[in-house]
């Protein structure tokens, strides 16, 4: 029978050096709270329970991650990492294997954790360590003459010889719950920081004849924590670089992987080209041969193959068909659906509208709450007047309609298939199919009319 896994995530720390009213674990990396990244790695291991130990700003943390299936454990006072893990223990099954993670160490990989868990057992504590050129303030791994780990010493408690050790404690460990409970209960805080150190359980385990098995991460960034805005920015860049490398290894062309951000999930077809300064948020999919120009923001959209998104557009919650031309300077708002071969040009805003195949709106328009048929041409400056000051109304434009420039279509209104609307018209009633409809004051010329002259002020 496989041993059930329970995960304890420590997230109670204050994050003093963030100088922020937001709890540290809620600061965002790639558009998601740090803690959400750790939770995702935790869930991927399919544990029976994830316990999150919260403290500072606890209500905010719980509210922000209310959708997460976790057991919230409060640590009212931060008395050290050992004390923090101990808070969760009454709710952990004796038969479980416990894995300890950190809410502010977001880049830990699932494979690394799998490797760690795989070597933990009844009589084995698994510890993730790393060799650092500059071990800084990390806890030092002390090994005996035979090379076995005997204990961990915190930097502040270390002798000069111990401080010189470059193998450090990453904090990640896995141990059988039944033993862990006993060790945690025996912790004392007679050390340099007056804290209950989780790291002190290592010497206790060794004394009990438990083996300490060590593993290392694939990449050092996996063990980096966030304690300041500088570190947050560093991890953001590392994470973005990794995402960029991943996409390029799948064949995506990035004009500059350093000027590219994915804050969510981006999936790309073949031969996609992405220019500089593009931000993808939420879930975005790009079909084959899609080209995204510079300075675009694309959030929760799917884009059909061969579509070109010119520079400086903002697209949100839209389904864009194949072979469309968007922008430059277009704004596509939620609940918009463009069929294939649609053109949405500069300074055009489209909201909550469906646009049929081959239709074009190339300049300076607002199309909202509208259904546009196929092969429609919307002239420059056309506005659907969808709002009467209290309610929104729909505009329906049939196939093959031609709307002249600067028309105002006052919804609710229908333009029949094949109709032509004269430039400058204000259309308030249904325009019949196949006919020319226009509202226009007749053009007059006043022969011989003279412009008024300025009065002579000297008189």
Pick the piece of the chain touching ligand UD1 (CB under 6 A) from 10-18, 36-44, 281-289, 305-313.
Answer: 10-18
Kindly state the smallest distance separating residue 56's Cβ from ligand UD1, in Å.
Answer: 8
Among 41, 81, 221, 370, binds ligand UD1 (CB under 6 A): 81
What is the token pair recorded at 214? 């060590």
Kindly state the smallest distance separating residue 199's Cβ from ligand UD1, in Å.
Answer: 4
Kindly state the smallest distance separating residue 227's Cβ from Ca ion, in Å.
Answer: 6
Closer of 235 and 292 to Ca ion (Cβ): 235
Q: How many CB atoms lie within 10 A of CB 21?
A: 7
353 binds ligand UD1 (CB under 6 A): no
381 binds ligand UD1 (CB under 6 A): no
Kindly state the smallest distance separating residue 146's Cβ from ligand UD1, in Å.
Answer: 22
Beta-strand pair 140-143/149-153: antiparallel
Among 79, 151, 215, 239, binds ligand UD1 (CB under 6 A): 79
Residues 49-62, buried b or exposed e (16+ Cβ, 10 A)? bbbbbbbbbbeebe
Contact partner, 327, from Ca ion, ligand UD1, none, Cβ < 5-8 Å per class: none
Q: Would you call 51 a catalytic residue per the annotation?
A: no
Contact positions with ligand UD1 (CB under 6 A) in 130-149:
138-139
Contact partner, 168, from Ca ion, ligand UD1, none, Cβ < 5-8 Å per class: ligand UD1
57 binds ligand UD1 (CB under 6 A): no
Contact mark string toward ligand UD1, 98..127, x via CB under 6 A: ----xxx-----------------------
Catalytic residue among 37, 51, 56, 363: 363
Contact positions with Ca ion (CB under 5 A) in 210-229:
225
83 binds ligand UD1 (CB under 6 A): yes
Residue 347 DSSP one-character state:
T
In angstroms, the CA 30 to CA 442 distance is: 58
Number of chain positions touching ligand UD1 (CB under 6 A): 27
Contact partner, 260, from Ca ion, ligand UD1, none, Cβ < 5-8 Å per class: none
In angstroms, the CA 131 to CA 105 distance is: 17
10 binds ligand UD1 (CB under 6 A): yes
Residue 245 in contact with residue 258, Cβ under 8 Å? no
Question: 3-state secondary structure string, 432-448?
Answer: CCCCEECCCCCCCCCCC
Pick the piece of the chain touching ligand UD1 (CB under 6 A) from 96-104, 231-239, 376-384, 400-408.
Answer: 96-104
Among 35, 50, 53, 108, binds ligand UD1 (CB under 6 A): 53
Pick the piece of the chain touching ligand UD1 (CB under 6 A) from 73-81, 107-115, 235-243, 274-282.
Answer: 73-81
Kindly state the smallest distance separating residue 63's Cβ from Ca ion, in Å.
Answer: 25
For residue 394, count CB atoms less than 10 angstroms from its CB and return exposed for 0-12, middle for 13-18, buried for 19 or more: middle
Closer of 137 and 249 to ligand UD1 (Cβ): 137
Pick the piece of the chain touching ligand UD1 (CB under 6 A) from 78-86, 390-398, 403-411, 432-440.
Answer: 78-86
Kindly state the smallest distance separating residue 212's Cβ from Ca ion, in Å.
Answer: 21
Pick the piece of the chain touching ligand UD1 (CB under 6 A) from 122-130, 168-176, 179-187, 287-295.
Answer: 168-176
Kindly state the smallest distance separating residue 15's Cβ from Ca ion, in Å.
Answer: 10
Contact partner, 80, from Ca ion, ligand UD1, none, Cβ < 5-8 Å per class: ligand UD1
Kindly state the smallest distance separating residue 225's Cβ from Ca ion, in Å.
Answer: 5
Cis peptide before 128 (omega within 30 of 0): no
232 binds ligand UD1 (CB under 6 A): no
80 binds ligand UD1 (CB under 6 A): yes
What is the token pair recorded at 399? 């196939």
Query: Which residues contact ligand UD1 by CB under 6 A?
Result: 10-13, 53, 75, 78-81, 83-84, 102-104, 138-139, 152, 154, 168-171, 197-199, 225
Query: Which residues contact Ca ion by CB under 5 A?
Result: 225
List the catalytic residues.
Answer: 363
């Amino acid at each position: 029978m496989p041993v059930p896994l329970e995960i304890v995530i420590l997230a109670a720390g204050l994050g003093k050096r963030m100088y922020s009213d937001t709890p540290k674990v809620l600061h965002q990396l790639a558009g998601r709270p740090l803690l959400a990244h750790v939770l995702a790695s935790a869930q991927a291991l399919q544990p029976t329970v994830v316990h999150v130990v919260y403290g500072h700003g606890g209500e905010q943390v719980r509210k922000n991650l209310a959708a997460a299936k976790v057991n919230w454990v409060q640590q009212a006072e931060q008395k050290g990492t050992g004390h923090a893990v101990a808070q969760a223990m009454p709710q952990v099954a004796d038969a479980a294997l416990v894995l300890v993670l950190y809410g502010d160490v977001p880049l830990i990989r699932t494979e690394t954790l799998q490797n760690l868990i795989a070597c933990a057992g009844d009589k084995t504590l698994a510890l993730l360590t790393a060799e650092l050129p500059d071990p800084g303030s990390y806890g030092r791994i002390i090994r005996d003459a035979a090379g076995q780990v005997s204990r961990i010493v915190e930097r502040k408690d270390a002798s000069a010889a111990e401080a010189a050790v470059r193998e450090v404690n990453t904090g990640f460990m896995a141990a059988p719950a039944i033993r862990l409970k006993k060790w945690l209960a025996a912790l004392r805080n007679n050390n340099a920081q007056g804290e209950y150190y989780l790291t002190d359980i290592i010497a206790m385990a060794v004394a009990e004849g438990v083996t300490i098995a060590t593993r290392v991460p694939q990449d050092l960034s996996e063990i980096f924590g966030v304690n300041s805005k500088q570190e947050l920015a560093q991890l953001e860049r590392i994470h973005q670089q990794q995402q960029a490398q991943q996409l390029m290894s799948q064949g995506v062309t990035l004009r500059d992987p350093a000027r590219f951000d994915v804050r969510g999930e981006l999936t790309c077809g073949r031969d996609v080209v992405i220019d500089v300064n593009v931000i993808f948020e939420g879930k975005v999919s790009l079909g084959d041969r899609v080209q995204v120009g510079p300075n675009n923001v694309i959030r929760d959209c799917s884009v059909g193959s061969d579509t070109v998104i010119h520079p400086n557009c903002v697209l949100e919650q839209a389904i864009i068909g194949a072979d469309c031309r968007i922008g430059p300077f277009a704004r596509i708002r939620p609940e918009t659906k463009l069929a294939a071969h649609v053109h949405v040009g500069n300074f055009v805003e489209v909201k909550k509208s469906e646009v049929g195949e081959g239709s074009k709106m190339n300049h300076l328009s607002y199309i909202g709450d509208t259904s546009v048929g196929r092969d429609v041409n919307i002239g420059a400056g056309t506005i659907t007047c969808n709002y009467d000051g209290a309610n929104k109304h729909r505009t329906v434009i049939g196939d093959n309609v031609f709307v002249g420039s600067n028309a105002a279509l006052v919804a609710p209104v229908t333009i029949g298939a094949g109709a032509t609307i004269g430039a400058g018209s204000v259309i308030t009633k249904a325009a019949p199919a196949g006919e020319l409809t226009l509202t226009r004051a007749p053009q007059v010329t006043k022969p011989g009319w003279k412009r008024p002259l300025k009065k002579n002020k000297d008189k």
